[in-house]
Structure 1
Amino acid sequence: MIGLNRLKGEGSPSTLFAAFLYFDFSFMVWTMLGPLATEITDSFASYGFLLTASEIAKLLSVPILSGALLRILLGFLVGKIGAKKTALGAQAIVIFTLFYVVLFGEHISYDELLFVGIGLGFAGASFAVALPQAGQWYPPRLQGVVLGIAAIGNMGVVLGFLFAPKIAEIWGWQAVFLVAAVLSLFVFILYALMAKDAPEEVYTPRPKRISDYIRLLKDKDTWWFNLFYAVSFGAFVGFAMYMKVYLMAMYFDEMEVFGEEVLKEENIHVVAGYFAAFCIMAGALLRPVGGAISDKIGGIRSLYIFLSSVAILIFINAYIALSFWFAIIVMFLIMANLGMANGAIFQLVPQRFSKDIGIMTGIIGASGALGGVAILEVLGASTLMFGDYTIGFMLIAISVLIAIFGVSLVKRRWRTTWGIKSGGII
């Protein structure tokens, strides 16, 4: 991995691994309704409850929205009680939520699933814990690669798309929650044994007050970072959650030939999950690459490259009638560039807000998750109102262009103010 050899002799490898593991499985749990969306829809249909496109989007949005708001809370708790205690408390709530579905899943209602989504939001809020915990151990010059490695936990969503549809096909979608509950309990134990909060000689905690939130929210750079991350991470998580629904809707017939038995629709669910995982994997794996590239050439220049590529690719997807394989290639490249853009943003954040990294990770992470909610709603509304995804993709591409314009507005000021004394390349 790019930049990995630079970490030798630095920081706490066990904590970095624990943060990655905790975030990886948390991200899998947070987004697990995405790979199960079509199975849950079919299950409800068998009982005569037909979910509309809007209701599916709402179901997928709840854990994302919950995770967005809880990131702020957990970011605050990191400063108050430490990252490790915060992580263990949040993980305990997630485990309880998963076992609830295991116990009552066969008779669970749509409204109950929405409440389950709120509980899964605690897994999504792990972002505000894992990244500061890893970053506290390392100097500014290594923040891009360190936070990229910790945040490669985005790979968890790939695991969900790879395995959840197959488990659901064999044992039912509720069984996926049992597997997730057992794995989450295992990760809880490993994290408790391996993770350590940084000692004072490495990082001096500064517990935050409500006034600190107000102070940071008055800083215009906070809102610029919120915009950039709402676009980059929002598009990543939104596309990831909706990917299987999108592929099933647009390319069902073309995927059918990949099924083990072409007459069994369950196999198409699995095939769609595999292709979705392939695309999402690009963004998850390349996030630390984006951070490492930003350490070399600067986060601003990196954002220009990655976001411009995303805008072009989304316009292609919106206006050119793509074959299945071409669509997969385009979505793969979109997710890859979004992942690297996420890494580039968090190469810049610790340099600008080094003394407030915990709380800022929560605030910016929340904006990213809210961006994901917006993406889901846009895609759901697009197909409901216009019958396809063209308008939805066009609106997303426009939001990326707005972010690029925003980068051009701040780059000079950033480079001539805090960038001079940040300790890294911006």
Structure 2
Amino acid sequence: MKFGDLKKEGHWPTLFAAFLYFDFSFMMWTMLGPLATEINESLTSRGFTMNDDQMATLLAVPVLAGAILRLVLGIFVDKFGPKKTALVSQVIVIATLFYGYLAAESITYDQLLFVALGLGFAGASFAVALPQAGQWYPPRLQGTVLGIAGAGNIGVVIDFLFAPKIAEIWGWPSVFLVGGVLSFIVLIAYMFMAKDAPSSVYKANPKKLGDYMKLMRDRDTWWFNLFYAVSFGGFIGFANYMKVYLMNTYQADMSAFGLNVMDESNVKVIAGYFGALCIFAGALLRPVGGAVADKMGGIKSLYVFYGSIVILALISAFVTLPFWAAIVVMFLIMANLGMANGSVFQLVPQRFGKDIGVMTGLIGMAGGLGGTALIKTFGWSQGAFDGYAAGFVIFAVMTMIALSGISLVKTRWRTTWGAVSGARI
């Protein structure tokens, strides 16, 4: 398939608009992660310091809200159309960003939680952008189209690259201002470029609450929820908590890496850069995981990826690593999590091909819930034990449970739906 085919069929302005919408939404969704330490310092200067649990809660709220709102916006897409749903959602996110900027000088922790809740609408963009792009194109182009629209995951990398530097130069509230202005520009571009597919191109098949309830009674739904809660939950959880983890653990070790960083604000920027490097691995390698699963089967590939994650997480828990080695380990953890995401979604369409829309919403929500649990677990670990060993151990145990689940279902899957799927599982 050539990319020129996308111009001959479908509606490329909508595809581009969906990509922009998802990319910038993902940036806004994860904005608090690279700003967490700066925000906490601002609160401290006014007499309130977030403890580890409060910090984790602040970072977890957008992830949790985004997970739940994916189902809500998915239903709205069916009822009102993706464009109207996207426009309303974007307006809420933009209003939240400007509120965060205007209230920053005297903002309280409760107000920050309100901002975090509003940013959850950005995380739910997945349930809008992908269907809108996919509705315009025939089945043979769906993989490419959804891959382009879904490449917005790279937005979290952009956050970690630029947000700490903007905060260093102009102060952390300016990141909300820049985000709000850019999101408004994207809103205008989206308004003129994006169109809902006409009935001659796409025949709507609205999802009902009963459709979700029916699939929730299928045991395989729960297995896929577990697998994606570990892989995507691990990715988005670590992505949001990455800077806090690096600052709490390795701030004093930066000079040992040869950076000779004296200014604390520079340390935050450097932590953002290394965090972006690790997150980039997970975002970039997701399609690679899908390709590996196509070649060797989704089950075998998940054995490899999950097994690697268990080993790497236990190394992080029990081995005192210098800064450079910790970055290597986190890079590999994120890479394997990203590839595991691709592997899970190599299996899902084979098992639930007729219900892929509903399953995407359910599994996406499970991934967000997994990310919320990881962030809260790591916040608890730091607060209770002044370190992250317990958090890594718990994550390793959850990954081992997922591995055990694969062992329990693999024979049944391969001898039932897998035998007629026409692909390696």
Task: Give the alignment's TM-score, normalised by structure 1.
Answer: 0.92
The residue type paired with residue 373 of structure 1 is T
Q: 5+ unaligned residues in a row in structure 2: which ranges?
A: none
Give the stretch that moved more between structures: 43-52 or 84-93.
84-93
Q: Larger deviation: 401-410 or 51-60?
A: 401-410
Query: 1:155/1:324 Cα in 2 relative to 1: closer, same or farther (>3 Å)?
Result: same
Per the TM alignment, residue 74 of structure 1 is displaced from its structure 2 partner at its CA by 1.0
Identify the range of structure 1 (290-299 vs 50-59) with the bigger mean alpha-carbon deviation. 290-299
Report the counterpart of residue 118 of structure 2 in structure 1. Answer: 119
Q: Does 1:29 align with 2:28?
A: yes
Q: Could you say if the C-alpha distance between residues 249 and 194 of structure 1 is closer, same or farther in structure 2, counting changes exceeding 3 Å?
A: same
The answer to whether the 8 A contact 1:79-1:358 is kept is no
> Contact (CA 8 Å) 2:59, 2:375: kept in 1 or not?
yes
Distance change >3 Å, CA 131–CA 301, structure 1 → 2: farther
Greater CA deviation, 7-16 or 391-400? 7-16
* Match of residue 72 from structure 1: 71
Match of 1:253 in 2: 252
Query: Could you say if the C-alpha distance between residues 422 and 82 of structure 1 is closer, same or farther in structure 2, counting changes exceeding 3 Å?
Result: farther
Instruction: Quote how far apart the aligned CAs of 1:314 are.
Output: 1.1
| C-alpha distance in 2 between matches for 1:213 and 1:4 | 36
Per-residue deviation, 1:144: 5.3
Contact 1:72 1:363 in 2 (8 A): yes
Matched residues in 1 for 2:256 and 2:167: separation? 20
**Structure 2 counterparts to residues 380-391 of structure 1, below 5 A:** 380-391=379-390
Partner of 1:418: 417
Conserved in 1, the CA contact under 8 Å of 2:257 and 2:323? no
Deviations 1:116-138 (A, max 9, x none): 11100000111222233344455
8 Å Cα contact 1:318-1:393 kept in structure 2: yes
Query: Could you list the per-position Cα deviations for residues 287-320 of structure 1 after superposition, in whole angstroms to 9, with x for gaps in the alignment?
Result: 1222233344433332222222212211111111
Distance in 2 (CA, whole Å) between partners of 1:390 and 1:143 is 42
Letter matched to residue 292 of structure 1: A
Larger mean CA deviation between 263-272 and 160-169 belongs to 263-272
CA distance in 2, matches of 1:203, 1:350: 19
The CA deviation at 1:247 is 0.6
Which residues in structure 2 correspond to 1:16-415 (within 5 Å)? 16-137=15-136, 146-200=145-199, 203-256=202-255, 262-415=261-414
Question: Secondary structure, in 3 states, of the residue corresponding to 2:417?
Answer: coil
- Give the whole-Å Cα distance in 2 for the aligned partners of 1:196 and 1:273: 36
Distance 1:327 1:36 in 2: 21
Equivalenced residue count is 424
Paired letter, 1:65: L
1:413 Cα shift? Answer: 2.8
SS of the residue corresponding to residue 302 of structure 1 reads helix
In 1: Cα distance, 2:258 partner to 2:199 partner = 56
What SS is found at the alignment partner of 2:285? helix
Shift of 1:159: 0.7
Q: 1:92 to 1:417 in 2, by over 3 A?
A: farther
Q: Give percent identity, aligned residues only.
A: 64
Deviation of 1:17 (Å): 3.3
Pick which of 403-412 and 94-103 moved more.
Answer: 403-412
Change in 2 beyond 3 A, CA 1:10/1:308: farther
Q: Residues 142 and 420 (structure 1 numbering): CA distance in 2 closer, same or farther, change over 3 Å?
A: farther
Distance in 1 (alpha carbons) for counterparts of 2:13 and 2:288: 21
SS in 2 for 1:91: helix
Per the TM alignment, residue 280 of structure 1 is displaced from its structure 2 partner at its CA by: 0.5
Change (3 A) 1:235 1:56: same
CA contact (8 A) 1:67 1:125 kept: yes
TM-score (norm 2): 0.92
Q: Deviations over 1:272-299 (max 9, x none)?
A: 1111111101111111222233344433
Q: 2:76, 2:170 → 1: CA distance? A: 38
| More displaced 10-residue stretch of structure 1: 249-258 or 281-290 | 249-258
Q: 2:257, 2:324 within 8 Å by CA — same for their partners in 1?
A: no
Specify whether residues 300 and 198 from structure 1 end up closer, same or farther in structure 2 by C-alpha distance, changes over 3 A only: farther
Structure 1: any 5+ residue segments left out of the alignment?
none
* Partner Cα separation in structure 2 for residue 199 and residue 350 of structure 1: 25
Q: 1:70, 1:122 within 8 Å by CA — same for their partners in 2?
A: yes
- Give, in angstroms, the shift of residue 368 of structure 1: 0.5
Aligned-partner Cα distance in 1 for 2:132–2:4: 19
Flag the 1:202–1:307 CA change in 2: closer, same or farther, 3 A: farther
Give 1:202 deviation, angstroms: 5.2
Contact 2:254 2:261 in 1 (8 A): no
Q: Would the aligned equivalents of 2:25 and 2:125 in 1 still touch at CA under 8 Å?
A: yes
- In structure 2, relative to structure 1, the CA distance for the partners of 1:319 and 1:120 (3 Å cut) is same
Contact 1:30 1:120 in 2 (8 A): yes
1:30-58: CA deviation from partner (whole Å, max 9, x where unpaired): 11100000000111111111111111001
